[in-house]
A and B are shown apart, each in its own frame.
Chain A
Amino acid sequence: MRLELEKRGEHSAMFSAISPIIAVAVTALLGALMFAALGKPPLQALYSYFIEPLTEVWSIHELLVKATPLILIALGLAFCFRSNNWNIGAEGQFIIGAMAGSIIPVMFPDLRGPWIVPAMMICGMIGGGLYAFIPAVLKARFNTNEILSSLMLVYVAELFLDWTIRGPWRDPDGFGFPQTQRFHADAILPEMFSASGRAHFGFVFAILATLVAWYVLSKTMKGFEIRVLGESARAGGFAGFNAKRMIIFAFVVSGALAGLAGISEVSGAIGQLRPSISPGYGFTAIIVAFLGRLNPAGIFAAGLVLALSYLGGEAAQISIGVSDKVASVFQGILLFTVLACDTLIRYRVRLRSSAPALAPESVAP
């Protein structure tokens, strides 16, 4: 038997809609097999992984807290990936955004006022945007592979954060722990419904960003330009679009959103800078972007799904005693199945017996 692909002229609308759902279902199935292999009851494991976290109000708050950075970053990545710019350094832009946004509360801790939080958000976006500007300008100016350069900058950002909070920004009253002082209340992004849980206003940013991104990508000339350059750089050049300017634009938008995610996380969920402020949001957001088919509405939903995989990991660790590393395995499998299912959108897939009955005097190899 042989698998044959046949290109569709038109993308299959049906599979475009259901392929992410198939992917999630296949991943759940593989997950059940994995739990069974680990000697855990698969159904109970899946329940505690995917359902239990949704049964309590506080954990729905947690879901929104985790979904916020994923959605914000992935929206930015949609700008990049759609225009064929492979920014995979969002994790670094997240960190630098968080640090830039923390300049005010850490270096000027005595400042007070309602303007502080907005100023921090803006600083975070500028920081993330500038950090993304580096691989962008290297690609536009020197043709440097942006995948490698943006990724290398993740390691640099992590080390820079580490140095900063062990050195100049360390909390003088923190008993030597590598962390900054806790932010003053005026520098904390407020919670939305503080009576019931921790979800902060970063989620509102995620909603607003989703709406804006949807409008820009699907309704405007700019979105058209992004799509054209992503589909074919040559046709884009013929249309009069500037591919180099697009590299900078996509990266800076993406970096700014990652930076906003970073400072929202630090100011809203953590309250100070620590050596580790992200469980890999910048990378998980890549999965979110693909699961959402680079479409803002899809990304919003996919962000919630992937946030659930983090929560489920923690929940499953407690209730059935599997490692919380299962979460990243799940995420990896999910991206694989998403990509595999996307093949159904672009191709008709056929199974064929490998050779017809051979005629006499056959010279088939």
Chain B
Amino acid sequence: MTPEVIVSIIATVMTAATPLLIAATGELVVERAGVLNLGVEGMMVVGAVAGFAGAQLTGNAWGGVGLAIACGAAFSLLFGILALTLATNQVATGLSLTLLGLGVSGMVGEAFIGQPGVKMASVNIPGLSDLPIVGPLLFGQDPIFYISIALVVGVSWFLFKTRAGLQLRAIGNNHGSAHALGIRVITVRYLAVMFGGACAGLAGAQLSLVYTPQWTEDMTAGRGWIALALVVFASWRPGRVLIGAYLFGAVTIAQFHAQAFGVAIPSQLLSALPYVSTIVVLVLISANRRMTMQNTPAALGKTFVPDH
């Protein structure tokens, strides 16, 4: 393999990893606030169709990105109203968000099937992108890649260096105590849920504007669920989400290349690889009970109803 081939393989890994990274980072913030939103897949697929539609309408990929973020956040608000204001079961509510998202995107997207999409152009950072190997990899990528890295850094800073981040973590640990101290539990959770929705929307837009610039039904293909698994894998730490997302990106890409190299394994088996490895990773992580217990936000998934 020539260096060019290796660089291009790594570049595809990064492209495959970016949507997972963005969606998982968003969900990480949601879960740190003590909310389990299983609707990532639904918000992501809504983002994908909104991204495609926005780009078609405006003729500009950025129009798609903006619409996807807005739709993802708005869609997550549905979850918020039920799970936060009406105190419904978070697991069931998240599932219904996913089912509704798949339904709505399928209906809205019917018109787009087979249409050529708008591909987001790469941005070369002058001077740096000409460097050998690292140049094209780190400085010649699409804008969403840069956003994803900034997102991880930003979230990490927010959670661990700011007062608001401290409050958010406190809520996720014990919403009753946080409420007693006067922290606005429901408000902060709404903001976190909408941030998660915006991230999932952006991740969806990456799929329909960068990864495969077109619309196909259910094009997220379980990536929203893998993003949820990544948060567990990362034990709720942004830096580890980055590592996890890239590992999964590599697994996804490995199956394509294995097929290209004519490895005598049925293609379906290779396609199953990301899903199987998700399970394997979850088992390995959760088997360490002590560590999971220590890291899991203690209020995760529990409904909170303040007394008045």
In the complex, A touching B (Cβ < 8 A): yes
Q: Cβ of A340 and Cβ of B279 under 8 Å apart?
A: no
Partner of A144, one of B101, B275, B282, B305: B282
Give the A interface residue count (CB, 8 A): 50
Q: Cβ of A163 and Cβ of B266 under 8 Å apart?
A: yes
* Given A335-B99, A339-B93; A329-B107 close (CB under 8 Å): yes
User: A95 an interface residue at 8 Å Cβ cutoff?
Assistant: no
* Given A5-B305, A148-B232, A155-B272; A326-B107 close (CB under 8 Å): yes
Q: Cβ of A143 and Cβ of B268 under 8 Å apart?
A: no
Chain A residues whose C-beta falls within 8 Å of the C-beta of B86 in the assembled complex: 3, 5, 339-340, 343, 349
* Given A142-B283, A331-B103; A336-B289 close (CB under 8 Å): no
Q: Cβ of A325 and Cβ of B106 under 8 Å apart?
A: yes
Which residues in chain A, 1-28, are within 8 Å of chain B measured between CB atoms? Answer: 3-7
CB proximity of B281 to chain A, nearest CB, Å: 10
Partner of A328, one of B82, B89, B99, B283: B99
Q: Cβ of A329 and Cβ of B282 under 8 Å apart?
A: no
Chain-B contact segment, one of A209-217, A220-228, A233-241, A283-291: A283-291
A346 to B92, CA, bound (A): 16
Partner of A339, one of B89, B107, B269, B292: B89
Q: Cβ of A142 and Cβ of B225 under 8 Å apart?
A: no
CB proximity of B217 to chain A, nearest CB, Å: 9
Chain A residues whose C-beta falls within 8 Å of the C-beta of B216 in the assembled complex: none
Output the residue of B85, B102, B279 with the most chain A CB within 10 A.
B279
Q: Cβ of B222 and Cβ of A151 under 8 Å apart?
A: yes
Chain A residues whose C-beta falls within 8 Å of the C-beta of B110 in the assembled complex: 323, 325
> Contact string, A87-101, partner B, CB cutoff 8 A, digits 1/0?
010000000000000
User: B308 an interface residue at 8 Å Cβ cutoff?
Assistant: yes
User: A191 an interface residue at 8 Å Cβ cutoff?
Assistant: no
User: B104 an interface residue at 8 Å Cβ cutoff?
Assistant: yes
Give the B interface residue count (CB, 8 A): 45
User: B278 an interface residue at 8 Å Cβ cutoff?
Assistant: yes
* Given A143-B287, A148-B229; A339-B96 close (CB under 8 Å): yes
Which partner residue on chain A sits nearest B83 by CB separation?
A339
Which residues in chain B, 260-291, are within 8 Å of chain A measured between CB atoms? Answer: 266, 268-269, 271-272, 275-276, 278-279, 282-283, 286-287, 289
Q: Cβ of B100 and Cβ of A148 under 8 Å apart?
A: no
Q: Cβ of B99 and Cβ of A145 under 8 Å apart?
A: no
Q: Cβ of B99 and Cβ of A287 under 8 Å apart?
A: yes
CB proximity of A31 to chain B, nearest CB, Å: 12
Q: Cβ of A156 and Cβ of B305 under 8 Å apart?
A: no
User: A118 an interface residue at 8 Å Cβ cutoff?
Assistant: no
User: B159 an interface residue at 8 Å Cβ cutoff?
Assistant: no
User: A159 an interface residue at 8 Å Cβ cutoff?
Assistant: yes
User: A149 an interface residue at 8 Å Cβ cutoff?
Assistant: yes
User: A243 an interface residue at 8 Å Cβ cutoff?
Assistant: no
Partner of B99, one of A4, A147, A331: A331
A142 to B190, CA, bound (A): 33
Chain A residues whose C-beta falls within 8 Å of the C-beta of B292 in the assembled complex: 143
User: A342 an interface residue at 8 Å Cβ cutoff?
Assistant: yes
A152 to B222, CA, bound (A): 8
Partner of B225, one of A148, A159, A283, A347: A148
Q: Cβ of A88 and Cβ of B95 under 8 Å apart?
A: yes
> Contact string, A284-309, partner B, CB cutoff 8 A, digits 1/0?
00110010000000000000000000
Which residues in chain B, 219-256, are within 8 Å of chain A measured between CB atoms? Answer: 221-222, 225, 228-229, 232
Q: Cβ of A332 and Cβ of B85 under 8 Å apart?
A: no
> Contact string, A257-288, partner B, CB cutoff 8 A, digits 1/0?
00000000000000000000000000100110
CB proximity of B42 to chain A, nearest CB, Å: 8
Partner of A145, one of B221, B272, B282: B282
> Contact string, B84-121, partner A, CB cutoff 8 A, digits 1/0?
01111101110110011111101100100000000000
Partner of A151, one of B101, B107, B225, B283: B225
Chain A residues whose C-beta falls within 8 Å of the C-beta of B96 in the assembled complex: 287, 332, 335-336, 339
User: A167 an interface residue at 8 Å Cβ cutoff?
Assistant: yes
CB proximity of A103 to chain B, nearest CB, Å: 19
Output the residue of A151, A343, A349 with the most chain B CB within 10 A.
A151
User: B151 an interface residue at 8 Å Cβ cutoff?
Assistant: no
Q: Cβ of A336 and Cβ of B78 under 8 Å apart?
A: yes
User: A131 an interface residue at 8 Å Cβ cutoff?
Assistant: no
Chain A residues whose C-beta falls within 8 Å of the C-beta of B203 in the assembled complex: none
A159 to B276, CA, bound (A): 12
Output the residue of A3, A156, A286, A349 with the most chain B CB within 10 A.
A156
A346 to B87, CA, bound (A): 10
Chain A residues whose C-beta falls within 8 Å of the C-beta of B91 in the assembled complex: 86, 147
Q: Cβ of A160 and Cβ of B268 under 8 Å apart?
A: yes
User: B205 an interface residue at 8 Å Cβ cutoff?
Assistant: no
Q: Cβ of B38 and Cβ of A147 under 8 Å apart?
A: yes
* Given A4-B308, A152-B275, A336-B78; A145-B286 close (CB under 8 Å): yes
Output the residue of B78, B275, B289 with the most chain A CB within 10 A.
B275
Partner of B305, one of A147, A290, A339, A347: A347
CB proximity of A26 to chain B, nearest CB, Å: 13
User: A138 an interface residue at 8 Å Cβ cutoff?
Assistant: yes
Which partner residue on chain A sits nearest B277 by CB separation?
A152
Q: Cβ of A145 and Cβ of B232 under 8 Å apart?
A: yes
CB proximity of A190 to chain B, nearest CB, Å: 33
Which partner residue on chain B sits nearest A161 by CB separation?
B268
CB proximity of A231 to chain B, nearest CB, Å: 13
* Given A152-B278, A325-B106; A342-B88 close (CB under 8 Å): yes
The 4 closest A-B pairs by CB, nearest first: A332-B100, A328-B103, A335-B96, A163-B268
Contacts beyond the supplied A335-B100, A349-B86: 4 A-B pairs with Cβ under 8 Å: A153-B279, A156-B276, A323-B110, A325-B106
Q: Please list 26 pairs of residues, one from A and one from B, whose beta carbons are closer than 8 Å in the complex, sorted by A's number.
A: A4-B308, A5-B87, A143-B289, A144-B279, A144-B287, A145-B229, A149-B283, A152-B225, A152-B276, A153-B279, A156-B275, A156-B276, A159-B268, A159-B269, A159-B271, A159-B272, A163-B268, A287-B99, A325-B106, A331-B103, A332-B99, A332-B100, A335-B95, A336-B82, A336-B100, A346-B87
